[in-house]
Structure 1
Amino acid sequence: MPGGTDMTLRPFLWRAERLYPDTEIVSRTSEGIERYTYAEYGDRVCQLANALADLGIEEGDRVGTFCWNHHRHFESYFAAPSMGAQLHTINPLLPAEHIQYIVGNAEDKVLFVDPSLLEALEPAVQSPEFDQVKRYVVMASEVPETDLDAVSYEAFIEGHDTEFDWPDVSQDQPAGMCYTSGTTGKPKGVEYTQQMLWAHTMESLSPQGIPMADDDVVMPVVPMFHVNAWGMPFTATAGGSKQVYPGPSPTPEDLAKLIEEEGVTLTAGVPTVWLGLMDYCKENDVDLSALERVIVGGSAAPKSMIRWFNDQGVEVLHAWGMTEMSPIGSVAHLKSDLEDADDSVKVDKRSKQGLMVPGLEFRVIDDDGEEIDWNGEDFGELWVRGPSVTTEYFARPEANEEDFEDGWLKTGDVVTVDADGYLKIVDRAKDVIKSGGEWISSVELENSIMAHDGVAEATVIGVPHEKWQERPVAFVVPVEGIDEATVEEEVMEMLSEEYPKWWLPDDLVFIAEVPKTATGKFSKKDLRDEYADGDMFEGQAPEEAAPDDD
């Protein structure tokens, strides 16, 4: 296409600068609250682009960030891609060896790092994978004591022009990069082209995505290093929304204060974030009147939490996606013809992963390679394709052969689809429990257990069993102050009314916290590793661990 007509990110910045020059961007940093306007933001984006160009960053070079959610990180979101470079957000919670692999594999030329993360980065920097990094930039006004040869962000951009001669970047130019968490082997790199991020922004802006308008105040709590904070910085900019960035490791008190003082209307993150906020609000006088929507992803939200937020007038909206999808895939909006349905029907729809966003297609393939019927019962693996879905991994041909077929991404999620088209994740393919030759959905059990008001978190794994191959075991975090014996009795009674006896967990193990991955999801791998030998059953077979042969 001729220059200027391609689907790229820069017009979103142009729109915010020109139409909403006085709309604020607010940022909680280690140096205090910072606030400025889109007009000032645009000037600083140009300064950053000029500084990168002076450093020798060219089209196609990768700019790495090792940062939390704040305004300086946000400035890199438009500066690097709009000059033709590629923004590579790195998860600072990964092990040092993964960080070394990721930086070396991506060949990052410059690395931006938060002051609070210098200690985590320094051990990784000693490896040869970092040899190609030209400059370390600390996201602050001054550089704290560190072994790195670094410059502060403000010194890095100081004196540079507030205008930049933006090139006509092709829509096929890689604009972003994120690596999967690598729970099964080395992390896999996913590149996002300009067109992919443009398409994802437009999908999100649609009424059945996660729309953000000029009367919204948007606070991404989901980390900016995790799939671009679910694309929210791009969507909010395109919509002209006021943006609020909660900074490093925000506490429930920090989030409550920002919601109150900045009038946050929309926020997003994993369920544990909102459970913490809920508990804080119960103990403190917090004004949530401005808050309209809480977007939840990563794992299912407990129904008790959904009810509590609903009582405060706040809609909890489930979303589902993947790193490979930029990432939003589906959102649990109610169709218009369901608005007058019974509350039980509405709750059922909202508890699912929802409707595929406009622009994407999906199919569900069973073990025989056939598409399933949309009856809410048959299940298979979810395959997805569309303009915001990648078709290959970066430099990983062996993974490409396994995870892609004829342009379709094989997600690894096992799902059902009801007659209205609502997706429901039954399990990850690797997490389905096979007991006595029959399948048990760990996700279904988890969702049912978390529906109990005395349960804060719960996860279910298959533990090796001498007779039945695997048996489900539930790991439960009780609500503080709740009697564990009572919770166990009530949960098991509740499950026995919903599921056959062979589905029931053989044990409920109470723990202080469910292990989390580097992106905040439940880490079943850690629990599987701990209980891999199956000793907890002591050779005892449950009375009925599989259905009758007939």
Structure 2
Amino acid sequence: MEYVDIDSNESAYAYPLLVKHLLHTPLAHAPDQEIVYRGETRLTYRTMRERIARLANGLTRLGAEKGTTVAVMDWDSHRYLECYFAIPMMGAVLQTVNVRLSPAEIAYTINHAGAQILMLHTDFLPVVDAMKDQLETVHTFIWIDDEGSEASAHSIPFASEYEHMLAASEPSYDFPDFDENTRATTFYTTGTTGLPKGVYFSHRQLVLHTITGMAALASPVSGQRFHRGDVYMPITPMFHVHAWGMPYIATVLGVKQVYPGRYVPDQLVKLVRDEGVTFSHCVGTILHMLLNCGEAKTVDLSRWKVVIGGGALPQGLARAALDRGIDIFAGYGMSETCPLLSLAQLKPGSETLDIDEQVNLRCKTGLPVPLVDLRIVNEEGADVPHDGKASGEIVVRAPWLTQGYLKNPGASAELWDGGYLHTQDIASIAPNGYLQITDRIKDVIKSGGEWVSSLEIESLISQHPGVSEVAVIGIKDEKWGERPVALVVLKPQFVPLVSEDEIRNHVRAFSETGQISKYAVPQIVRIVDQLEKTSVGKLNKKRLREQFA
């Protein structure tokens, strides 16, 4: 027998899953709800809808059309939220530029994405001015001015300023229907080696991720929830995986949203207090800084729910947060997964567990959210037992995973080998279903929420004339999550001449010229006599981590 298609009346509306449809609910439920920027600028959802239309009209006037890639370099703001909607709703592609990359990497990502329009905040004028001649596809620049920001001297030929462009544009725009599989966003992820890789997501994927995220966050009996009564503030940059998709979820729910601009710990805590923020997400290093800043000592944080991702949630940090009344729990995903895969929410009945058991569960990698098909497999691709002991690689399927790497078929095939997306994270699953990451396949270091390539640092250190061998490993750090540590064997004639500070400064020089991120500079360098090797002569980084942890 054949499958039977549904009959469709010729006048029926075949509702495509497009980003524009996410605006129906907040405009019906909460058109006068606030969206706040830095505690200074305030607008409503109704006003935001008009500004989205003005932005689309302004970009159209400057040559944007369906398929145009528009790159954005801004801090977390109401403007960025408008770009999240207006650009994809036009049928164009939003590129969220990772401003923490080195200047050379930023230029590469903009060129590789083929961005034709670049919008940039005043603070990034020096970076873009220095690289503008290297930008191969950008033909239009838009300046994002900001009250209190000082513009440096530059020669960027701006076509317009953001607010001036909106003021000169009509407050209505007929956003068209098109195929829901049209690409909506592009951004770049950095891994262990090589240049950043582009990932991309369709309208359909963003809408399904939004709906599922709402369902997952609404499901607990109590705690670890996000609902219509919350006040949302991201502390994960909006250039990073759509700020974990939460601005779309917050918008559909019509909640008050608070955007902090550039992250300053005391200012973030003030916004939590003054704006009544109840839900945020960030990496553990950021929360650690917030809890230890001066402003946090006197602020009541007992209504705040915080999801920690981008690395493991240490139990010490979880306890410190719980002691302040923060409802803290971990989440897991990656750039390639849009990102949500799992959340460490407590199951019904967990309130009877003692505090140690509850903390342990909150710090797990979590339970898969709806629609996620998550497996732990061995090297042969076979499932390993869910006994909390056997480990394997996490492989996943979900409706919102990137379908490949932009213009990189080889890496795309490797990512999707066997029809499952390979995360390269090693984990186990306990009998109660909780996932726990235990290691990484490749020796990548995560410092301050950013990936740092150990191989890249090793390559730079090896260029020092006195270096014979080098291994770079990651060790745990309370503030940064991990920090790179360089273990260096010197050439015999250089042993009395080269110091650990000299090696560190050697790497710092590459950071100062923009070739690597500042997070890649090892804070610890150790001169050693030899490096542990495997039986086939490779560096045994597992043993090195055990020795120097």
Same fold (TM over 0.5): yes
1:213–1:240 contact (8 Å) kept in structure 2:
no
2:98–2:240 contact (8 Å) kept in structure 1:
yes
Which one-letter code corresponds to 1:367 in the other structure?
Answer: E
Alpha-carbon offset, residue 370 of structure 1:
1.6
Alpha-carbon offset, residue 178 of structure 1:
1.1
Q: Which structure 1 segments of 5+ residues have no match?
A: 433-441, 447-458, 480-510
154 and 316 in structure 1: CA distance in 2 versus 1, 3 angstrom threshold: same
Counterpart CA distance in 2 for 1:168 and 1:473 is: 48
Which secondary structure does the structure 2 equivalent of 1:189 belong to?
strand
Equivalent residue for 1:162, pick from 171, 182, 195 = 171
**Which residue does the alignment assign to 2:250?**
236
Which one-letter code corresponds to 1:192 in the other structure?
Answer: F
Question: 1:323-379: CA deviations, max 9, x gaps?
Answer: 111111111011214332343332222211000111110111112332101001111
Equivalent residue for 2:136, pick from 125, 130, 143 = 130
471 and 169 in structure 1: CA distance in 2 versus 1, 3 angstrom threshold: closer
Which secondary structure does the structure 1 equivalent of 2:40 belong to?
strand
**Between Structure 1 and Structure 2, how many residues are aligned?**
470
476 and 318 in structure 1: CA distance in 2 versus 1, 3 angstrom threshold: closer
44-53 or 116-125, which moves further after superposition? 116-125
Alpha-carbon offset, residue 184 of structure 1:
1.2
Which secondary structure does the structure 2 equivalent of 1:157 belong to?
helix
Equivalent residue for 1:87, pick from 94, 101, 107 = 94
Counterpart CA distance in 2 for 1:108 and 1:201 is: 26
**Which residue does the alignment assign to 1:149?**
157
**Which residue does the alignment assign to 1:482?**
none
478 and 346 in structure 1: CA distance in 2 versus 1, 3 angstrom threshold: closer
Counterpart CA distance in 1 for 2:395 and 2:307 is: 23
2:142–2:162 contact (8 Å) kept in structure 1:
no
Residues 409-420 of structure 1: matches in 2 within 5 Å? 409-420=421-432
Counterpart CA distance in 1 for 2:181 and 2:335 is: 19
**Which residue does the alignment assign to 2:40?**
33
1:204–1:211 contact (8 Å) kept in structure 2:
no
16 and 320 in structure 1: CA distance in 2 versus 1, 3 angstrom threshold: same
2:196 matched to 1:204? Answer: no
Counterpart CA distance in 2 for 1:241 and 1:524 is: 35
Question: 1:154-210: CA deviations, max 9, x gaps?
Answer: 111222111111101321011111111254111111111001100111121014577
Equivalent residue for 2:275, pick from 259, 262, 265 = 262
Q: What TM-score results when the alignment is normalised by the length of structure 1?
A: 0.78
Equivalent residue for 2:64, pick from 36, 44, 57 = 57
**Which residue does the alignment assign to 2:464?**
none
Alpha-carbon offset, residue 280 of structure 1:
1.8
Alpha-carbon offset, residue 117 of structure 1:
1.3
Counterpart CA distance in 2 for 1:236 and 1:302 is: 27
Counterpart CA distance in 1 for 2:471 and 2:107 is: 36
**Which residue does the alignment assign to 1:317?**
329
Equivalent residue for 1:347, pick from 359, 378, 401 = 359
Equivalent residue for 2:32, pick from 22, 29, 43 = 22
Residues 329-408 of structure 1: matches in 2 within 5 Å? 329-408=341-420
**Which residue does the alignment assign to 2:197?**
188
Equivalent residue for 1:112, pick from 112, 119, 123 = 119
Which secondary structure does the structure 2 equivalent of 1:206 belong to?
helix
Which secondary structure does the structure 2 equivalent of 1:414 belong to?
strand
Q: Which structure 2 segments of 5+ residues have no match?
A: 1-7, 219-223, 459-469, 481-503, 512-516, 534-542
Equivalent residue for 2:20, pick from 2, 7, 10 = 10
1:252–1:277 contact (8 Å) kept in structure 2:
yes
2:232 matched to 1:218? Answer: yes
2:183 matched to 1:174? Answer: yes
**Which residue does the alignment assign to 1:493?**
none
Counterpart CA distance in 1 for 2:352 and 2:103 is: 52
2:45 matched to 1:45? Answer: no
Which one-letter code corresponds to 1:194 in the other structure?
Answer: H
478 and 103 in structure 1: CA distance in 2 versus 1, 3 angstrom threshold: closer
1:278–1:305 contact (8 Å) kept in structure 2:
no
Q: What TM-score results when the alignment is normalised by the length of structure 2?
A: 0.78
**Which residue does the alignment assign to 2:463?**
none
2:273–2:300 contact (8 Å) kept in structure 1:
yes
Counterpart CA distance in 1 for 2:99 and 2:75 is: 9
130 and 265 in structure 1: CA distance in 2 versus 1, 3 angstrom threshold: same
474 and 78 in structure 1: CA distance in 2 versus 1, 3 angstrom threshold: closer
Which secondary structure does the structure 2 equivalent of 1:220 belong to?
coil
Which one-letter code corresponds to 1:270 in the other structure?
Answer: V
Equivalent residue for 2:299, pick from 276, 286, 290 = 286
Question: 1:73-125: CA deviations, max 9, x gaps?
Answer: 11111101111111110011111221121111111121111111111222221
**Which residue does the alignment assign to 2:465?**
none
Which one-letter code corresponds to 1:60 in the other structure?
Answer: G
1:260–1:290 contact (8 Å) kept in structure 2:
no
Which secondary structure does the structure 1 equivalent of 2:352 belong to?
coil
Which secondary structure does the structure 1 equivalent of 2:86 belong to?
helix
Counterpart CA distance in 2 for 1:418 and 1:60 is: 45
**Which residue does the alignment assign to 2:266?**
253
Alpha-carbon offset, residue 539 of structure 1:
7.1
Question: 1:126-149: CA deviations, max 9, x gaps?
Answer: 21x334332333244799343211
539 and 263 in structure 1: CA distance in 2 versus 1, 3 angstrom threshold: closer
Which secondary structure does the structure 1 equivalent of 2:195 belong to?
coil
Which one-letter code corresponds to 1:295 in the other structure?
Answer: V
The percent identity for this pair of structures is 32
1:136–1:148 contact (8 Å) kept in structure 2:
no
Counterpart CA distance in 2 for 1:311 and 1:70 is: 31
476 and 389 in structure 1: CA distance in 2 versus 1, 3 angstrom threshold: closer
Which one-letter code corresponds to 1:246 in the other structure?
Answer: P
21 and 172 in structure 1: CA distance in 2 versus 1, 3 angstrom threshold: same
Which secondary structure does the structure 1 equivalent of 2:400 belong to?
coil
C-alpha RMSD over aligned residues = 3.4
Which secondary structure does the structure 2 equivalent of 1:46 belong to?
helix
Question: 1:481-517: CA deviations, max 9, x gaps?
Answer: xxxxxxxxxxxxxxxxxxxxxxxxxxxxxx9xxx9x9
Counterpart CA distance in 2 for 1:333 and 1:427 is: 22
**Which residue does the alignment assign to 2:439?**
427
Counterpart CA distance in 1 for 2:188 and 2:479 is: 33
Counterpart CA distance in 1 for 2:226 and 2:297 is: 29
**Which residue does the alignment assign to 1:500?**
none
143 and 153 in structure 1: CA distance in 2 versus 1, 3 angstrom threshold: farther
Counterpart CA distance in 2 for 1:320 and 1:125 is: 36
1:22–1:37 contact (8 Å) kept in structure 2:
yes
Which secondary structure does the structure 1 equivalent of 2:423 belong to?
strand
Counterpart CA distance in 1 for 2:531 and 2:244 is: 45
Counterpart CA distance in 2 for 1:524 and 1:135 is: 29
Alpha-carbon offset, residue 283 of structure 1:
6.8
